[in-house]
Structure 1
Amino acid sequence: MRKSQHGMITPTQATILIINYTLSVGILTLPRMAANEVGTPDVWMALLISSLVPLAMAFVIITLNKRYPNQTFYQYSGLIVGKFLGLFIGLVITLFFITDTIFAVRMMAEVVEIYLLEETPITILIVIVLWLSLYLVVGGITSIARVSQIIFPLTILTFVVVALMSLGLFELNHLRPVLGEGIRPIFKIKSMALSTLGVEIILIIQAFMTDQHKAKKVIFLGVLVPTVIYLLTLVMVIGALSIDGIKNLTFPTVILIQSFEFPELFFERYDSVFLIIWTMQIFTTLSISFYLASLGLSQLFNKDIKPFMYGLLPIIFILSMAPKNLYQLSWLGDMIANVAFVLFGIVPCLLLLISFIRGKVQ
């Protein structure tokens, strides 16, 4: 792989890429999804259990990557299962990242149109975001990592401030009783496990790391930080609005922030600040997906990456306009999450097994 063409990233940058990729739409929708699935205030326990799922997936992926150092999954999958089957799997993963980009850009446009830029056509918002994303991904993985490094501390700071401000609305009784319906509900972890996925990108980006031996540390922190932020989000939203109060809210986190009242600060739209930072956050998410999709086509067909970047742009734009409403968009998000579980949970296990049987190939 000609790394100079795509750039290199440090383990710290790789960690931040995984964190940013994981922290996207889930911040807005996870409380509602968790409340409807678990149905009790013990959702925070279910979240902790669900965090073991991406860790297990990542362990398999890292083990597989180690057998083919300095190569992305797109490049070594054909060595394991043959050229044509490897091409097919690579194209499926590429399609996954394309669909993920479509979902992210459309969800970002929907939220911005609802809360920030009312009456602005969705089409205009999507065009602007996609061109900005194209400008970023043309610079390669290093450029995306550097932008993520700028956005990451702003994200952390924002969530700390939001958590502190929510203390005025927090009621501990909303998190009680603990295990009131027994231990069974906390194992209803599907929605949370799917929302915390993001480690799958290590399947590709590990090949660009300057020190690939630190992949386990990268994954551990890449799962830990989003888990803590999601946990904080669940606790503060449920503590303020109650488990029953958020079941029918599309974006419970935004509703919570809109409830803040601090007249002495002479500032009313706290949700605007949060959503601006969230917009930057999801922008990095869709840019990562956009880049990985373009990289996949480039490496699978052994061509220059830039024509694929420009070629995917109108395709993503057209398909992002397909969902007619938030319900259809949510359905698309659920489908992506379910496919991710199969594609990055089961396929790497099978390929690792085949790789062991056939022997190590570098």
Structure 2
Amino acid sequence: MSKQPIDKITTPQTVVIISNFILGIGILTLPRTVTEKVKTPDGWITIILGGIIAILVAFIMVKLAGRFPGKSIFQFSKEITGKWIGAIISLCIILYYMALASFELRAMSETTRLFLLQGTPNWAIILPFIWVGLYLITGGINPIARMFEIIFPVTVLFFLLVMFLGIKVFEVDNLRPVLGMGLGPVMKGLTTTSLSFVGFEIIMIIFMFMKEPNRAMKATFIGLIIPLVFYSITFVMVVGSLTVDGVVTQTWPVLTFIRSFEIQGLLVERFDSLLLVVWIMQLFATFSVCYYAASLGLSQMFKKNINGFIYGLAPLIYIVSMVPKNINEMFEMGSMIGNFTLYFFSSVPVLLLLITLIRGKKS
């Protein structure tokens, strides 16, 4: 059995893992995906409502994990539902993290090829990232947490800088009228915004590593509030600058927004390349956690050392990442993963918690 579950992470590390996990490829496309559904400038309201729903579901997950200290969902699901049903739940989660790791790799490759390394084949970008990720996660959860602590402040500072500099092209009239068509369009976009908060379910795995598990609720809340603020500011700035019609026509509207202004006299006048470097780090961080979670799940299911599964999963993740033939198929893959997450993680933890409460009352 792997020794890695005895590793411990602090509460701030838990916060940055949750926040960084949520902030992946989604923020680069969020204004477009939300606006396509809502078709009005009120998408920021939809984002806030989606964040509130995510926080409520996350609290249920924390309550569930808190009843089984020192164990992950791969272990306590068997205790709650029995060996076979628990194994099916664990396998679904493992396959989900494998697919998400592959999607993040492919998204990282597509953005890199499009904006930084034109003409480079996908395999030449994906394979080095898999090797570096493999090297990282063999050290356990602590190196992953420390990497997140490095990436997170860089992301926050650069994000705030870019959004502040973009005020010169921002027009508040592009966000009016507020609720001009009522709440109907706002509610239509809830599914899309809920998918943007995918990642907070990692708390059911990293809870077992926390030094202060009694602070898991606070850590999860802060970890979700940070992406909620990021998403809201991004939507307001991008739609306010490009208009609703302009955002819908862009594949990567955030990058288009950053390219729409230049700051004369600074060391760097164009910020899109810098943003891509920061977000490639974000995508790599998300990939690393997914890779580790899938490997940990297999090691706990079969009660074997984790290292064998880390090496074994690498070729599988590569193969799945190469399945989409183009960027449109990649987005379809992301939508399928997001839909699975929305329905699976909003229902299964609730059912598991209800079963534990009912059995607790009976006993």
TM over 0.5: yes
Residue type matched to 2:61 in 1?
I
Aligned to 2:108: 108
Shift of 1:128: 0.8
Aligned to 2:187: 187
Aligned to 1:129: 129
Match of 1:181, SS state, is coil
Match of 1:207, SS state, is helix
Structure 2: distance between partners of 1:308 and 1:360 = 39
Tell me if structure 2 keeps the 8 A contact 1:9–1:209.
yes
Structure 2: distance between partners of 1:98 and 1:136 = 17
Match of 1:263, SS state, is coil
Residue type matched to 1:161 in 2?
L
Aligned to 2:147: 147
Structure 1: distance between partners of 2:2 and 2:104 = 29
Aligned to 1:208: 209
Shift of 1:4: 5.0
Counting only pairs closer than 5 Å after superposition, residues 345-360 of structure 1 correspond to structure 2 as 345-359=346-360
Pairing 1:265–2:266 present: yes
Shift of 1:358: 2.1
Tell me if structure 2 keeps the 8 A contact 1:31–1:238.
yes
Change (3 A) 1:310 1:321: same
Structure 1: distance between partners of 2:343 and 2:6 = 28
Tell me if structure 1 keeps the 8 A contact 2:2–2:306.
no
Shift of 1:268: 4.1
Tell me if structure 2 keeps the 8 A contact 1:9–1:210.
yes
Aligned to 1:83: 83
Aligned to 2:157: 157
Residue type matched to 1:267 in 2?
V
Residue type matched to 2:345 in 1?
F
Structure 2: distance between partners of 1:328 and 1:9 = 37
Aligned to 1:282: 283
Shift of 1:167: 0.5
Match of 1:242, SS state, is helix
Structure 2: distance between partners of 1:298 and 1:321 = 25
Residue type matched to 2:10 in 1?
T
Any gaps of 5 or more consecutive residues in structure 2? none
Match of 2:41, SS state, is coil
| TM-score normalised by structure 1 residue count | 0.97
Can you list the C-alpha shifts for 1:12-39, whole angstroms capped at 9, x where unaligned? 1011000000000111110000110111
Change (3 A) 1:302 1:282: same
Tell me if structure 1 keeps the 8 A contact 2:2–2:299.
no
Can you list the C-alpha shifts for 1:244-264, whole angstroms capped at 9, x where unaligned? 111121100011111122232
Shift of 1:121: 1.3
Change (3 A) 1:2 1:327: closer
Can you list the C-alpha shifts for 1:280-339, whole angstroms capped at 9, x where unaligned? 011100100000000000001000000100000011111111100111110110111111
Aligned residues: 361
Can you list the C-alpha shifts for 1:129-152, whole angstroms capped at 9, x where unaligned? 111111111111111000000000
Structure 1: distance between partners of 2:171 and 2:275 = 22
Residue type matched to 1:229 in 2?
F
Structure 1: distance between partners of 2:266 and 2:215 = 44
Can you list the C-alpha shifts for 1:29-84, whole angstroms capped at 9, x where unaligned? 10000110111111111111111121111111111112111111101111111111
Structure 2: distance between partners of 1:360 and 1:249 = 54
Aligned to 2:18: 18
Match of 2:228, SS state, is helix
Aligned to 2:219: 218
Residue type matched to 1:265 in 2?
L
Shift of 1:187: 1.7
Shift of 1:276: 0.2
Any gaps of 5 or more consecutive residues in structure 1? none
Aligned to 2:324: 323
Tell me if structure 2 keeps the 8 A contact 1:6–1:142.
no
Query: Which is further off, 51-60 or 154-163?
Result: 51-60
Tell me if structure 2 keeps the 8 A contact 1:62–1:215.
yes
Counting only pairs closer than 5 Å after superposition, residues 59-70 of structure 1 correspond to structure 2 as 59-70=59-70
Shift of 1:2: 6.8
Residue type matched to 1:85 in 2?
I
Match of 2:127, SS state, is helix
Structure 2: distance between partners of 1:3 and 1:257 = 45
Residue type matched to 2:40 in 1?
T
Structure 2: distance between partners of 1:348 and 1:178 = 36
Identity among equivalent positions (%) equals 43
Aligned to 2:28: 28
Structure 2: distance between partners of 1:99 and 1:6 = 27
Change (3 A) 1:260 1:360: farther
Shift of 1:199: 1.2
Structure 2: distance between partners of 1:267 and 1:61 = 43
